[in-house]
Structure 1
Amino acid sequence: MKCTAVLAALAAIAITPVNGGPIAYGICQTGCNAVVVACYAAAGFQFGTVIAAAAAPATILACNAALGTCSATCATVALFAPIP
């Protein structure tokens, strides 16, 4: 997703070595959540209002899968990436 590309760009311009951490992780998660809210809106739903996963349309299931992938990427990349 785009979150990974942003983190890669930031890592590439870092001049001095620093540690990533909770702030980078929070920024990445905010990006993931903004994307899933837009995904839900494009499907005609409001994020947080679809109750039954079995009754959700395929577009909502795809949005949820994308959110899970993005969140997992944040957990493995943003916590360890060098962020200035």
Structure 2
Amino acid sequence: MNTENIYLALQLMVVGMATVFLILYIIIGLGKLLVNYTNANAKEAPPVSPPRPAQAPEADATTQAVIQLAIKELTGGKGHVTQIKKLP
């Protein structure tokens, strides 16, 4: 192996690495420009108020009694109703 080939290989490596670095630098610059352009021209979303939790209507007395009797019948008197809520 002679030194000319080594110098040529090193020169080719430096030129290749410089080219890759330059292309990546251009891509990063274009990305930053795109982000700045998008942020400058973006429409602001109207403020959204947080939704209030909807209160479920309570079951009337006859519905509660029917549910309690059904649970008592199904569980043989071992089950107890603690809360009744209507699902959305």
TM-score by length of 2: 0.28
- Larger RCO, structure (CA 8 Å, separation 6 or more): 1
TM-score by length of 1: 0.29
